[in-house]
């Protein structure tokens, strides 16, 4: 999974920093297609619990996932700063992730990223493949593919 963030010689990568609960998470910017404001989500009956439903993104139907439900956090509270991050994944199509707030874009070099040991007891870390250090702050880096992989296997 660590292979996901290994890049060219230069090795610097950009991440979009979002807030979920009290933690900060980073999403590899190369997967991000768009960031949209919260909008009406149409519930899909019988779908997995962490799928909030679907939205209309300029005529396209996009499924929206609650990353909080997926990580067993308390349910989403929608505010003015709640955003849906639209991820575009090769072959898999698009997918929306609900985040509490979008903060900034940071560039991290390989020396600023620590790998995390896989902890089977902690479900959350399944989606994290590194921790970035940006100044004083720590940013957990999402492993975008593992979010999808697990979804598909359901």
Partner 1 sequence: MDVSQYLEIFIDETNGHLQNLSDCIMSLEKDPENMDTINEIFRAAHSLKGMAGTMGFKRMQRLTHDMENVFQEVRSGNMNVTSGLVDVLFQCLDAIDAYLENVKESSDEGTDDNEAIIQELNDILAAGTGNAPQPAEKPAEKEEKPKEDPSGGRFQKKYHDMDLSEKEKEELRESEEKGMNLYGMTVYIQEDCLLKAARAFLVFKAVEEFGNIIVYNPSSQDIEDEKFGFDFSFYVASETELDRIIEVSKAVSEIEEVVGEKVVYKELTAAAAKKEEEEAAREAEKARQEETAVVPQAQAAPQAKPPQAQANKKQNGGKPVTNRTVRVDIEKLDALMNQVSELIIAKNSLVSIGSTSDGGMGSNSQAFHEQIEYLERITTGLHESVMKVRMVPIESVVQKFPRMIRDLSKKLDKKMELYMTGEDTELDRTVVDQIGDPLQHLLRNSADHGLENAETRKKRGKPETGSIHLNAFQEGNNVIIEVSDDGNGIDTENVKNKAIERGLITPEQGAALSQKEIIDFLFMPSFSMAKQISDVSGRGVGLDVVKSNIEALGGDVEVKSVLGEGSKFTVRLPLTLAIIQALMVEVRNEKYAISLGSIETIEEIMADEIKFVQAKEVIHIRGMVIPLIRLDQLLDCEPEDEEKESLTVIIVRKGDKFAGLIVDELNGQQEIVIKSLGKYINNSTKIISGATVLGDGEVALILDVNTLF
Which tokens in the block code for residue 135? Answer: 């100044």
Minimum distance of partner 1 from residue 24's CB (angstroms) = 25
Other beta carbons within 10 angstroms of residue 9's beta carbon come to 6
Q: Of 110, 62, 108, which is closest to residue 87 (Cα–Cα)?
A: 62
Residues 124-153 close enough to bind partner 1 by CB under 8 A: 148, 151-152
x/- mask, partner 1, residues 20-59, rule CB under 8 A, reads --------------------x-xxxxxxx--x--xxx--x
Which tokens in the block code for residue 67? Answer: 């990353």
Minimum distance of partner 1 from residue 107's CB (angstroms) = 30
Cα separation values, 39 from 27, 34, 76, 87, Å = 21, 14, 14, 16
Residues 68-127 close enough to bind partner 1 by CB under 8 A: 92-95
Please compute Rg for the chain using Cα positions: 15
Q: Which is nearer to partner 1, 80 or 152 (CB)?
A: 152
Contacting positions for partner 1 (CB under 8 A)? 40, 42-48, 51, 54-56, 59-63, 65, 92-95, 148, 151-152, 154
């Amino acid at each position: 999974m660590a292979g996901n963030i290994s890049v060219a010689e230069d090795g610097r990568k950009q991440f979009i920093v979002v807030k979920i609960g009290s933690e900060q998470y980073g999403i590899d910017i190369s997967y991000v297609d768009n960031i949209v404001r919260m909008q009406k989500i149409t519930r899909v009956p019988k779908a997995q619990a962490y799928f909030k439903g679907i939205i209309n993104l300029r005529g396209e139907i996009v499924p929206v996932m609650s990353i909080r439900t997926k990580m067993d956090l308390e349910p989403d509270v929608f505010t003015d700063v709640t955003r849906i991050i639209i991820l575009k994944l090769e072959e898999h199509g698009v997918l929306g992730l609900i985040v509490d707030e979008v903060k900034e874009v940071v560039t991290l070099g390989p020396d600023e990223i620590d790998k995390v040991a896989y902890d089977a007891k902690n479900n959350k870390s399944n989606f994290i493949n590194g921790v970035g250090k940006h100044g004083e702050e720590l940013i957990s880096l999402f492993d975008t593919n593992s979010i999808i992989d697990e979804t598909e296997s359901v």
